[in-house]
Amino acid sequence: MQLKDPALLRQQAYIDGSWVNADLGATNAIRNPANGETIAHVPDMGGDETRRAIAAADAALPAWRAKTAKERAAILRKWFELIMANQEDLAQIMTLEQGKPLAEARGEVAYGASFIEWFAEEGKRVYGETIPAPQGDKRLVVIKQAVGVTAAITPWNFPIAMITRKVGPALAAGCTSVVKPAEATPLSALALAELGARAGIPRGVLNIVTTARPADVGGELTSNPTVRKLSFTGSTPVGKRLMAQCADTVKRVSLELGGNAPFIVFNDADIDAAVKGAIVSKYRNAGQTCVCANRMIVQDGIYDQFAEKLAQAVAAMKVGDGMQADVVIGPLINQAAIAKVDALVADAVGKGATAVAGGARHALGGNFYAPTVLTNVTADMAVAQEEIFGPVAPLFRFKTDEEAVALANNTRYGLAAYFYSRDIGRVWRVAEQLEFGMVGINEGAISNEVAPFGGVKESGIGREGSHHGIEEYLTIKYLCMGGI
Ligand code: NAD
């Protein structure tokens, strides 16, 4: 690793404005998924350290909350600028610990930073309401206030953006935060905290607790009554568990969970645009995104043509270490991910699917899987219901619009959906009938800081980004003034 600023590679946790070790000195090795090499060690913390981080966030709350939104915005703006000024170093750290190609890592740094910039401004627009009173001697007013101490638990697939989507609005609203990054990717989180400290975020306002024992840290974050809100991004089973754990202290929760996105291509679609959109939506981050197209649902009339063009494009994708300039598919995060993808492909092929591209582990070995396209995929195969989280596109076939919508909605998830059509009536009908929180229409890349990101059904609760994103960190207080 050749960082311009080596001080960004932090190997201690960040609590109450100090870089600290675990109480017992235990550490975890952070490994590069491309080659298994150890990059760094970070503290393996538990409940005690987490309790101290929460106490620090609580102590920092009154002064942070009392600042004006404009004062907080100035600090957040500086943080945004420092993140962008260090984009290259942050991208290198991310590729090394997470594996995504360097160009994608640069993109994520900018995308992640955009939430800090957006919410710095949005914090200035936390408006209240006045309500016409039913009695003449009263005046009714609604104000919005910071929720208080918040906790964030984030996944490894977007090591920066999943943090800034939570911490940006939390800090802008006047909340303080304790973040538990994923065990595989804490280095990006720690680098963010280093830049936050340089930007002038006061001690205790942002704390990062690293661990390889997520249940210990999560147990404290969810049971401690000082924490008033948990924002979690990760898998649906863990999200459900954390939601249950939060019930005892009646915390607010935001959950960004798994997805099983349909990507429908109608006969009237622009096929080349659909192939391009499919590549963006399916193969970014080697298929390890929650909004990844998981099921390609393709109409009879253009099925063969779409399959052929997609297979051609996929076969040309270069697989390898994300630090190499021309690589577009990096490694999966670990061997468990490879085994899961392998099993899903074997199940589909065993039940009659055909691999028209890839279909096996990549020749490079290790955590590399060949980008794959499967045809003749049917609803009885496991890929129809499970989140693949790998570079595999299964192609289902349909005849009518009703059939396509029914297939698309036949999942317990409801995060993102995509479809390609040039018929304006169909565009409206299908967009309204899809049971998903976000719909890409003739578009494979839908995420940005100004739009509400989130799901329905078992994909979660709450929204991140846009003006809706800051509401998650605000409580409503009603003031009734009498005797007027
Ligand atoms: P995961 O649920 O295994 O882990 C997510 C986080 O939860 C990690 O920080 C992990 O350490 C922590 N965790 C695990 N068990 C815990 C416990 N018992 N108590 C407290 N914390 C615990 O998920 P993952 O494999 O890291 O991420 C992939 C999943 O995340 C996929 O399902 C993906 O769809 C989802 N995801 C969703 C979104 C979204 O916005 N909806 C975005 C990215 C990823």
Predicted local distance difference test score (pLDDT) of residue 449: 98
According to the model, what pLDDT value does residue 78 have?
98
In this predicted structure, the answer to whether residue 54 has a pLDDT above a threshold of 90 is yes
pLDDT digits (tens, 9 = 90+) for 274-321: 999 999 999 999 999 999 999 999 999 999 999 999 999 999 999 999
CATH number of 261-441: 3.40.309.10
256 annotated active-site: yes
Choose one of 28, 45, 50, 153 to mutate for the ligand 1 pocket test, by most ligand atoms within 8 angstroms of C-beta. 153
pLDDT of residue 323: 97
Spatial neighbors of 437 by CB under 8 A, at least 6 apart, are: 414, 415, 416, 452, 453, 454, 455, 456, 459, 460, 463
Q: What letter represents residue 155's amino acid?
A: P
Catalytic residue among 220, 256, 387, 464: 256
- Ligand 1 near 215 CB (within 6 A): yes
> 247 C-alpha to center of ligand 1: Å?
19
- Band of residue 1 on the pLDDT scale cut at 50, 70, 90: confident
Q: Whose CA is nearest to atom 28 of ligand 1?
A: 234
Structure tokens at 380: 């009885």
Work out the average pLDDT over 362-375: 98
**Concatenated DSSP letters of 149-193:** EEEEE--SSSTTHHHHHHHHHHHHHT-EEEEE--TT-HHHHHHHH
Q: Pick from 269, 262, 230: which is nearest to 246 by CA?
A: 230
Q: Where are the alpha helices (DSSP H) in 156-302?
A: 161-173, 186-199, 214-223, 236-247, 271-283
Ligand 1, atom 22, lies closest to the CA of 214
DSSP label at residue 289: -
Instruction: Say which residue the tokens 């005046």 belong to.
Output: 139
CATH 3.40.605.10 fits 6-257+459-480, yes or no: yes
Ligand 1: residue of 183, 251, 257 to mutate (most ligand atoms within 8 A of CB) is 257
pLDDT of residue 124: 98
The Cα–Cα gap between 413 and 102 comes to 30
As given in the structure block, the two tokens for residue 135 are: 């009695």
Residue 136 has pLDDT above 80, yes or no: yes
pLDDT band, residue 158 (cuts 50/70/90): very high
Flag whether the ipTM exceeds 0.85.
Answer: yes
Q: How many CA atoms lie within 13 A of 469 on its CB side?
A: 29
> pLDDT tens digit string along 2-47?
899 999 999 999 999 999 999 999 999 999 999 999 999 999 999 9
pTM over 0.95: yes
Residue 155 Cβ inside 6 Å of ligand 1? The answer reads yes
DSSP letter for each residue of 51-93: HHHHHHHHHHHHHHHHS-HHHHHHHHHHHHHHHHHTHHHHHHH
Whether the CB of 157 sits within 6 Å of ligand 1: yes
Domain edges within the chain: 6-257+459-480, 261-441
